[in-house]
Structure 1
Amino acid sequence: MATTTDSAPSAETPAEETAGARAEARAGETARFPYRTIAMGVIGSVVLMLASLGAGGILVRDPVIGAGPLSWMRYGHGHALATTVLYVGFGLVVWAWVRLGRYALAGRIGTRPIVVAAFAWMAPLLIAPPLFTRDVFSYLGQGAQLLHGLDPYDYGPAALDVLPDVVQNVHPLWQTTPAPYGPLFLLVAENIVGVTGNNMIAGVILTRVVLLLGLAGMLWALPKLVRHLGGRLPVTMWLAVASPMTVIHLVGGPHNDLLMLAFLTVGVWAALERKHALAIALVTVGMLIKPTAAVALPFLVWVWANHLPREESLFRRFVKAVTPSLAIFAVVFTAGTWVSLGSFNLGWVAGLQAPQIIANWLNFPTGLGEIAHTLVNLVVDVPVSPFVTVARGLAWVALSAVMVWQWWLARNGGREAILRMGVTLLAVAVFSPPTLPWYLTWGFVILSAFPWRRVHLAVVVAVSMFLVLVYYPTGEQSLYDWWFIIGVIAASLYGAASLLKPDPLGLIGVWRRQPVTAASETDPGQAEGPPTSRATS
């Protein structure tokens, strides 16, 4: 078993399977299936689905509950009860996920149970109202604009005088703002609305089904990335597929990042397999869905350059790699834009400014600006906007420097370049405004294919829980409800500690357990899989 001796995400680990990985594969073939843990997550997911009818991103005019006998779930004490029950469901899903992670780290289960668990937990959410976000209503509104001849990069959904249910469910903040998404995704949204019309429930469900194609792409690419990047496939699948960030945010949300991540992961695999033209084309398509994928392209150029004959200088190899990369990018970008919009429309570049109207401390520089304003405001009454604007400006400068630095460190190509790409994607999510919780999946998914230390995985548990809970189930942010945030932090830390030690505070009972460094681990679900022999890595 790889435990505290695992290496952190690193490019140093050989691409070949380690002894620990082979032991896990054998364990996965012989261990019992963790039925009880998966069932716990399914119960939690069903509870999430049912409670979201009252506490999730509900419709303005809902044909399911409306003014019927269950409408009490949406008002007053009924809404508070539905919200409480929803958090209970979330807790069950996270509890099951952490248990599954302990089994994976102990080598007691293979990849298959983790993938089955993820699908089982996602299934009830496919028909639930949007959870912890209302972005899907914006997707449908912008798709409706394109369907009815309005440019989503010039107008907000409020300009649409048809499909009233689609328009009125878009959040007021986005009613008059241009679309920040790539043209190819708008084409996808247009076709979804073309099928579902004014039926918002059907529109949300079909959007989720289409975005599951992104999950399929990730599932295809991640095992191949693990072979190149030296990770452990069960842990990778646990991090990237079964995580609450994927199950609840990307699918339960849903969010178009899931579709972009498919093209990104497959593109990275293609680059590592020396299929460089395909890699550049795929990641460019990902950029046409969500522009963030463009961050990966300069790193793929280094991978290409380092696959060229070493007799030439690095500069000459870089020129030979970047020249066709730019040509492929130009062709795919132009063709994709033209096919999607019927013209070469770069309006989405200006649309990228729209999300920056979101200002809260989840975005690190915005938080620094707000702290500075609070301190100055103790002395003199001043507006907050100049402080936030200056902090964000300085953060852009710092982020640019970090991106260039990481790109230069990637100049030797290979696993190092992919590691630096993942770090840069995380930096972009944290330092460029706004920071929305699901943005962290950009880097997490890529980095999940590397080896991880157990303690770092515990940090990921805490961050994942926190990033789901900092928005209310309705999609409104909870970041300034300080007592609530204290509770969120406490729950997240407890979840992280639970990965390292079952029931760390003794809240359920004292579980017999051997030390982490021993050859086996005992845990509340021990009966779900017998102990197996494990090699260290």
Structure 2
Amino acid sequence: MATTTDPAAQVPALDSDAGAPQAHPGTARARVPSRFPYRTISMGTIGSVLLLLGALGAGGVLIRDPVIGTGPLSWVRYGHGRMLANAVLYAGFGLVVWAWVRLGRYMLAGRIGSRPIVIAAACWMAPLIISPPLFTRDVFSYLGQGAQLLHGLDPYAHGPAELETLPNVVQNVHPVWQTTPAPYGPLFLLVAKGVVALTGDNVIAGVIVTRLVLLLGLGAMLWALPRLVRHLGGKLPITMWLAVASPMTVIHLVGGPHNDLLMLGFLTIGVLAALERKHALAIALVTLGMLIKPTAAVALPFLVWVWANHLSGESRVRNFLKAGAASVGIFAVVFVLGTWVSLGSFNLGWVTGLQAPTLVTNWVNFPTGLGQIAYTLVHLVINVPESPFVTVARALAMLTLAVFAVRQWWRSRFGGNEAIFRMAMTLLATAILAPPTLPWYLTWGFVVAAAFPWRRRHLAVVVGVAVFLVMAYYPTGEQALYDWWFVVVTIALGVYAAASLLRPDPLGLIGAWRRPAAGSVAEGGGVSA
């Protein structure tokens, strides 16, 4: 991603109503395809349906499933049946990624605008609304914690295992989180409580209703992103392709599902409000986002600079103090009322609950990976435990993150787009350096960053990273990061997908494809290098 003003380095402007490029005189007879990528969208939709079907056997299935259970279809969850389900699921994932890359090439060639991209994302998401959870079991924890709040237990003091009612909900919570306090904001627990109040012990209905509620966050993003693009200088088709149609959103945030989607809705509208000088609303919205997912709080100090720079007056210090005092006051009111309404009391137990995710250790979290490497080297010489190495590495990373965040905040003191850019980078750094790093955490800053200008090669990097981050976990929700052959294959597929964005079939593996003539573009095709 880059904010450079070098037009040669950036993706060409793609208006939402971009038409077909004029054919070169020498290619007047070349076939001019439809402007609407029906085949590409259909390919991704078929892939999404395969994800749904494969997830019935290989996804985050229920311990006691009232649909398949021990009936005639139960074979898809055992032995060769499970292998077949995994094959179907990964085939579906491959088709979704392939369609996304083809859509990206079509977009970069100036053949489509943002509307077909949004339609494609909607088609790819639709089958996943009723799918078992994909690549995670977090939604079962959401329901378990909502059930605790519904039945009078404090989710910040007890794990779902303490709940004696709603056994179907409780037994599907992952064993790691059965006795762990909730790490989510109180407003989200209120949302989860409402879902469980509606669906009771019906876990399948609970998962579907949770997805439908979280889609409100996607709707907020869809409303805010076009307006953010106008402020931040990006291109709307690229932004929608990155932030809405990406497998990170389609498969992780919706297929998961993850409450990050709802937080991102508040965050994007809040950032837009700040840029449009509605600063009190901006602070209130981002605070509400924090009450969903606490990491939204990282954005608040940057919005103070935006507010200060919109104030009239000659004294920058006085403007900052005014904006800071007003922001703190609005934050305090929204935070206290939001917590009180959600929990029935001013319960700050959720702050200590933030320690729960640190139980997850894997090398996707950069400092954890460094600690594990150091442990491995030392362990070759002497028998030592791993935890001290990981703990020290994480502590150093948190210190690094603090220095980075303060530096980015200070460099944002002139407000404007630069403050928003540095806010997005700090959110990304938080996802990478603070333990743990779960794949969908990178969407925190990435969705806002998508509204800035991008270079082609950086878009290709995003493709490779997105493929890896989806496949970093097995469809069941268990991590795949220490299955080294699987990791190697995943990285290779990610690199191939990244290269395919810039050049169709970069290894010549599909030689039967008809390459478009120079200057012409077929659906999903690219442009000559």
Instruction: Give the shorter-chain TM-score range.
Output: over 0.9
Query: Structure 1 CA distance, aligned partners of 2:520 and 2:132?
Result: 39
Matches within 5 A, 1:54-453: 54-309=57-312, 311-453=313-455
Number of matched pairs: 513
Q: Does the 8 A contact of 1:184 with 1:289 survive in 2? A: yes
- The Cα of 1:513 is off from its aligned counterpart by 4.8
Query: Structure 2 CA distance, aligned partners of 1:153 and 1:19?
Result: 47
Q: Which amino acid is 1:357 matched to? A: L
Task: Give the secondary-structure state (helix, strand or coil) at the position aligned to 2:311.
Answer: coil
Query: Structure 2 CA distance, aligned partners of 1:440 and 1:513?
Result: 36
Query: Structure 1 CA distance, aligned partners of 2:460 and 2:35?
Result: 25
Query: Structure 1 CA distance, aligned partners of 2:324 and 2:109?
Result: 44
- Indicate how the Cα distance of structure 1 residues 350 and 238 shifts in structure 2: closer, same or farther if over 3 A, else same: same
Task: Give the secondary-structure state (helix, strand or coil) at the position aligned to 1:306.
Answer: helix
- The Cα of 1:350 is off from its aligned counterpart by 0.2
Q: Which residue of 1 aligns with 2:499?
A: 497
Q: Which amino acid is 1:86 matched to? A: L
Q: Deviations over 1:61-82 (max 9, x none)?
A: 0011111111111111211121
Q: Which amino acid is 2:342 matched to? A: S
Q: Does the 8 A contact of 2:362 with 2:481 survive in 1? A: yes
Are residue 522 (structure 1) and residue 521 (structure 2) matched?
A: yes
- Indicate how the Cα distance of structure 1 residues 45 and 64 shifts in structure 2: closer, same or farther if over 3 A, else same: same
Are residue 9 (structure 1) and residue 2 (structure 2) matched?
A: yes
- Indicate how the Cα distance of structure 1 residues 11 and 502 shifts in structure 2: closer, same or farther if over 3 A, else same: closer
Q: Which amino acid is 2:427 matched to? A: L
Q: Which residue of 2 aligns with 1:476?
A: 478
Q: Does the 8 A contact of 1:73 with 1:81 survive in 2? A: yes
Q: Which amino acid is 2:204 matched to? A: I
Q: Deviations over 1:306-338 (max 9, x none)?
A: 1112x4232221111100000000000000000
- The Cα of 1:31 is off from its aligned counterpart by 5.8
Q: Which residue of 2 aligns with 1:466?
A: 468
- The Cα of 1:22 is off from its aligned counterpart by 6.2
Q: Deviations over 1:72-125 (max 9, x none)?
A: 111112111211111000000000000101111111001110000000000000
Q: Does the 8 A contact of 1:9 with 1:447 survive in 2? A: no
Q: Does the 8 A contact of 1:244 with 1:464 survive in 2? A: yes
Query: Structure 1 CA distance, aligned partners of 2:236 and 2:462?
Result: 17
Give the aligned CA root-mean-square deviation in angstroms. 1.9
- The Cα of 1:177 is off from its aligned counterpart by 0.4
Q: Does the 8 A contact of 1:13 with 1:230 survive in 2? A: no
Q: Which amino acid is 2:509 matched to? A: L
- Indicate how the Cα distance of structure 1 residues 406 and 440 shifts in structure 2: closer, same or farther if over 3 A, else same: same
Task: Give the secondary-structure state (helix, strand or coil) at the position aligned to 1:162.
Answer: coil
Unaligned ranges ≥5, structure 2: 22-32
Q: Does the 8 A contact of 2:51 with 2:89 survive in 1? A: yes
- The Cα of 1:267 is off from its aligned counterpart by 0.2
- Indicate how the Cα distance of structure 1 residues 524 and 269 shifts in structure 2: closer, same or farther if over 3 A, else same: closer
Q: Deviations over 1:439-469 (max 9, x none)?
A: 0001110000000000000000011110000
Q: Does the 8 A contact of 1:31 with 1:108 survive in 2? A: no
Q: Which amino acid is 1:32 matched to? A: R
Q: Which amino acid is 1:499 matched to? A: L
- The Cα of 1:28 is off from its aligned counterpart by 8.1
Task: Give the secondary-structure state (helix, strand or coil) at the position aligned to 1:505.
Answer: coil
Q: Does the 8 A contact of 2:305 with 2:412 survive in 1? A: yes
Unaligned ranges ≥5, structure 1: 1-7, 532-537
Q: State the identity %.
A: 72
Query: Structure 1 CA distance, aligned partners of 2:14 and 2:310?
Result: 29
Q: Does the 8 A contact of 1:127 with 1:205 survive in 2? A: yes
Query: Structure 2 CA distance, aligned partners of 1:169 and 1:337?
Result: 27
Query: Structure 2 CA distance, aligned partners of 1:514 and 1:265?
Result: 41
